[in-house]
């Protein structure tokens, strides 16, 4: 590879990742690595595959005439949720409860750089795929273990999903209407947070390996991963103040919330005094800036309900887009509309950034892909391949590991991989 090739290569182009995870936490971590050029090989249970393949509805039925490698795991079709976590990965079906299936995994790990798993603590070791087991095959391995509550502490053996951790992390306690019940964030937030921490740690361990020649084992829990994101809410708790649900209001800034308009909603974020003064002028209410209740940010936070009443009266007078044109476009103030998901994915800004595009899929024609946001000057990033069908790459990868047809037939006979369908 010459210097020009290096300038346009993916940062993780030469890295191979073996993904033993299911659902979102590990899947999103390896998705981020795939976006940066890593080859990610999903090792899945024969016939069933990743649990996320069964998340739905909705499902999309594959082409009934497709007769290539791989299959649809769920009788209802392919899960669009699964797509969003598994672009540009390869899928291998291996029964790790068979001796030959485990041996095939060891052969795969021997050629890999990273292994990621999200079993409950102790399960990987019982299956023979713990760090010590796999390090016997590859002493330079970077091994990442993800669990709900980490490997130590009184909750370490508990199972956990995003909903549970949104509860234990305090996130739900500060989310929702002021006088209402705790509310789960409408996305699998703690799954995604944990996946991002895991990807960050894996890249850090790979960087260290470049410097020292040593692999490493890292472990993290979803509960631990969510706590640093509490930021301003944690700051209040640290000094003895109560945290609370505030709807769209902010505990330390005002105005910093959502206001109803004549036809929808407008987000207004005045994070400093200059912006507040300019907002008052732009909406034709300069007297608000001189009002003692609203003179400084601490004043506005103290009198937040009164401020909300004043501004709500103003913003209800016009449609959202008129406010955006006046305040954002003409005055350069931080306001924006509140979009639904379809509009968020299909608007002029999203289109201009090239975030959504189509990727060819062998059994579905094309599928939409959400690109990740990092754009390099001297490297490439992005997804090149569709989310895989279950077992789509099993035989091809075994052949890359020097398994011949007789070896592959033996794996079938021993129940390590499924029969051809």
Known catalytic residue: 191? yes
Closest CA to 150 of 197, 104, 182: 197
Rounded to whole angstroms, the Cα distance separating 335 from 90 reads: 42
* SS3 (DSSP) at 114: strand
Rounded to whole angstroms, the Cα distance separating 79 from 369 reads: 14
Residue for token pair 């020009």: 4
Return the sign of the alpha-carbon dihedral for residues 145, 150, 151, 157.
Answer: negative
259 touches 266 (CB < 8 A): yes
Strands (E), 196-247: 216-221
Which of these is catalytic: 88, 162, 191, 224?
Answer: 191
Beta-carbon-side half-sphere exposure of residue 296 (alpha carbons within 13 Å): 2
Rg of the chain taking only CA atoms, in angstroms: 25
Q: What is the DSSP letter of 52?
A: G
Distance in angstroms between the alpha carbons of the first and the last residue of the chain: 41
Residues forming a β-bridge with 90: 41
Q: Which residues are catalytic?
A: 191
């Amino acid at each position: 590879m010459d210097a020009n090739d290096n300038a346009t290569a993916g940062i993780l182009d030469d890295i191979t990742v073996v993904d033993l995870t299911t659902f979102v936490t590990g899947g999103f971590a390896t998705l981020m690595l795939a976006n940066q050029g890593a080859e990610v090989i999903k090792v899945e249970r024969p016939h069933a595959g990743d649990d996320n393949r069964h998340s739905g509805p909705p499902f999309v039925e594959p082409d009934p005439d497709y007769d290539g490698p791989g299959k649809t795991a769920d009788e209802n079709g392919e899960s669009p949720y699964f797509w969003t976590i598994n672009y540009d990965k390869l899928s291998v079906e291996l029964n790790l409860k068979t001796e030959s299936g485990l041996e095939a995994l060891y052969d795969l790990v021997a050629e890999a750089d990273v292994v990621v798993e999200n079993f409950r603590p102790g399960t990987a070791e019982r299956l023979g795929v713990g760090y010590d087991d796999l390090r016997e095959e590859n002493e330079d391995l970077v091994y990442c273990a993800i669990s709900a509550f980490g490997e130590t502490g009184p909750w370490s053996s508990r199972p956990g999903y995003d909903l549970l951790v949104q509860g234990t992390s305090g996130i739900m306690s500060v989310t929702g209407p002021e006088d209402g019940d705790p509310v789960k964030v409408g996305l699998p937030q703690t799954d995604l947070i944990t996946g991002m921490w895991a990807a960050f740690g894996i890249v850090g361990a790979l960087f260290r390996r470049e410097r020292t020649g040593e692999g490493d084992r890292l472990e993290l829990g979803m509960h631990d991963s969510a706590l640093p994101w509490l930021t301003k809410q944690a700051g209040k708790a640290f000094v003895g103040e109560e945290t609370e649900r505030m709807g769209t209001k902010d505990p330390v800034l005002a105005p910093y919330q959502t206001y109803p308009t004549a036809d929808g909603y407008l987000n207004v974020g005045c994070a400093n005094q200059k912006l507040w003064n300019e907002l008052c002028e732009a909406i034709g209410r300069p007297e608000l800036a001189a009002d003692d209740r609203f003179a400084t940010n601490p004043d506005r936070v103290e009198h937040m309900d009164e401020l909300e009443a004043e501004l709500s009266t103003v913003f209800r007078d016009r449609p959202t887009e008129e406010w955006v044109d006046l305040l954002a476009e003409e005055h350069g103030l931080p306001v924006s509309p509140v979009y639904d998901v379809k509009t968020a994915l299909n608007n002029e800004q999203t289109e201009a950034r090239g975030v959504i595009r189509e990727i060819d899929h062998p059994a579905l024609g094309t599928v939409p892909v959400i690109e990740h946001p990092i754009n390099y000057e001297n490297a490439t990033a992005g997804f090149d391949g569709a989310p895989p069908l279950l077992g789509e790459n099993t035989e091809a990868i075994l052949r890359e590991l020097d398994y011949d047809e007789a070896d592959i037939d033996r794996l079938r006979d021993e129940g390590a991989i499924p029969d051809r369908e």
